[in-house]
Structure 1
């Protein structure tokens, strides 16, 4: 009997590179799996998230992931640690989150028979950077990924159609691929907020990486201030030294010293950012599905983003917000000014953004989709709606 009808006994192991990444991005999925009757285990690099993970009733396992370090000894230690956890708990299903974990986890499971879900949460720095090192890694991944994803017991989740088409072009099997948009936004906790009083404030939330577009945001802000527009900018997020795309602390300090710019660093209460902001911006190079914009949308904020994979799934031009070209600070400044000068557009786009999140990206919808997918895999050994060929998600609940 399906665990859609009764609670299934079994263990699911989530493999995530950082504990904060699990809490930020995978928590709604893991809760859905727990509520469906699966015993949830989390294998990750542990920093400050242990108490929060264990408070959910999940079993935590330390894995020595080292983002940004790809030497053979560190990779071997990670593979050995993953295999040790799998041998100890004998999982019913393993869910890898992100390209690094999909590669390491799939290699660790090569001689195992348990089903593996490889969640491609965005193709990230390696696919967006033009550096010689990233080009080498991209060539390696284009050969390695299809081989790992097409294993008999492997299934693939993508978050947006662009990533799906990229993987299909590399040779991934469409019958073993499912598009499930994100990990879910708690639209019951995140409610529409009234606009703040005072001068127009733009909010940015995310790691402070070049490929998140943070420099484009600051350049657009400078253009607006130089033109005499009295607009504020709030930046929430920290640099990420493990990522080659990270900006430096010195650069951030220089931004924060400018009039009208506030740098908050990491914040736990994302609602406080959107309560203080009129507009949400994320001119990213590429996303799986941008959680920051979905949270802003749930709070009823109009959105501005780049016309790039992932971003265009939540930002619909002239509906939920505005799309601008990549690395175009002038276009971004113009979009900000357009919304800054029109309370009517901000209200219209914000309301539409909220509806889109509730109708497509809510934790309830995504939780239903992921547990149905787990159930198909565990019960039938296949994605039952394989006729979709990865083109759409057949697991959405009826309204």
Structure 2
């Protein structure tokens, strides 16, 4: 008996392992044959433990050379043609742009485009960013769209930016981020206060607003607030927008700032801290770090950008301040440093917010419904 095949295309094995294993498990619950194409580093075992099969594809994420992109499309077309998936699921903007075209050329009609955030397109302002958004919207909607294509988002703002109606259930699905397991990440008692212990867990990119958090702590401490910041994350050498290690070390030399590097002990991070801070400049889907902190019963201080504002209710689950505004961030830190009871109540509310549609099981069920809907339609009805 033929088992329908699902083929994921994603940039990195670590990215799939950290964010999309629930989707692979959801597909296995539907008894799909699951294959993942990604650049392989150290996560084959974790991915294949779900029952999926990993195909390693070496490609440089930072390259925008037209010739290199054409070669990637040709390579992807060859791999997709060889696998002949019933559904092609492309994750993040560049794989969507390249594998979406390759899948269309290979005759794969059922395609899922998962926009996990708009990155540069969402974070930057100005004429160049506007032109880039127009180019992306044109490519997605004209070159690689089709009746068999479904768009998967993590917040209701991103589809609007791409000219899609978030209420169009036949074209757009919105899931609660990557989803976390609330039975694995559980609330634990707050550490002693003061000081207010704040953690920022993210890739070390300028778009994450790490510099804003550092400046805000400096401002708040200058006003007498007892607040400390721990930064967890590593520079991403493949990303041109990475914060240099020298800058991180310089920040860590300042009073009240500690750079702890990357961590896998998320429970340990939130056990030792009162507050999650992510002063993003934009381009987010629904940040996993926010979901993990909420699962652990920690309040969230973030900015009024897509993804962050769709989860955090200002004054209820934490505080939402304008983006790129260190002074506003500092004022929020001063309020929270002086109100430990409020911080604890916000953390409990954030946990309840997570349980309402943002768990791993919620995401798995939504993705299963998406796959079932696509597989129920004959290929001839969804020709791109």
Provide TM-score, normalisation by structure 1: 0.88
1:238 is paired with a residue whose SS is: coil
Aligned to 2:203: 207
Q: Secondary structure at the match of 1:204?
A: strand
Matched-pair contact (CA < 8 Å) for 1:8–1:36: no
Where 2:20 maps in the other structure, the secondary structure is helix
Specify the alignment match of 2:331 in structure 1: 334
Match of 1:250 in 2: 246
* Offset at residue 132 of structure 1 (A): 7.4
Aligned: 1:233 with 2:262: no
1:393 corresponds to: none
CA offsets, 1:300-330, max 9 Å, x none? 0001110111101211011111100011111
Distance 1:169 1:31, change over 3 A: closer
Cα distance, 1:108 vs structure 2: 0.5
Q: CA RMSD in A?
A: 2.3
Match of 2:25 among 28, 31, 46: 31
Contact 2:76–2:99 (Cα < 8 Å) also in 1: yes
2:371 paired residue number: 374
Residue 380 and residue 270 in structure 1: after superposition, are their counterparts in 2 closer, same or farther (change >3 A)?
same
Cα separation, partners in 2 of 1:316 and 1:245, compared to 1, 3 Å: same
Unmatched 5+ stretches in structure 2: 380-384
Q: Which residue of 2 aligns with 1:186?
A: 181
Structure 1 unmatched ranges of 5 or more: 1-6, 383-399
Aligned to 1:322: 319
Aligned equivalents of 1:123, 1:381: Cα separation in 2: 31
Q: How far apart, CA to CA, are the structure 1 residues paired with 2:161 and 2:169?
A: 11
* Residues 106 and 167 of structure 1, relative CA distance in 2, 3 Å threshold: same
Alignment of 1:84-95 (within 5 A): 84-95=78-89
Quickly say closer, same or farther: Cα 1:18–1:233, change in 2 above 3 A: same
Query: CA–CA distance in 2 between the matches of 1:171 and 1:231?
Result: 40
Corresponding residue pairs, total: 376
The reply to whether residue 127 of structure 1 matches residue 114 of structure 2 is no
In the alignment, what sits opposite 2:171? 176
Q: What is the rounded CA distance, in whole Å, between the counterparts of 2:2 and 2:337 in structure 1?
A: 51
Residue among 33, 53, 58 paired with 2:52: 58
Q: TM-score normalised to the size of structure 2? A: 0.92
Q: Distance in 2 between matches of 1:148 and 1:317?
A: 39
Distance in 2 separating the partners of 1:170 and 1:142: 13
Deviations 1:138-197 (A, max 9, x none): 342132121145313211112111112112269998742222232211111111121112
* Matching residue within 144, 147, 172 for 1:152: 147
For the 8 Å contact 2:160–2:166, the answer to whether it is kept is no
The residue aligned with 1:386 is none
Moved over 3 A (4+): 130-139, 169-175
Residue aligning to 1:362: 359
Shift of 1:117: 0.2
Q: Which stretch of the first structure deviates more once superposed, 353-362 or 44-53?
A: 44-53
User: Is 1:106 equivalent to 2:93 in the alignment?
Assistant: no
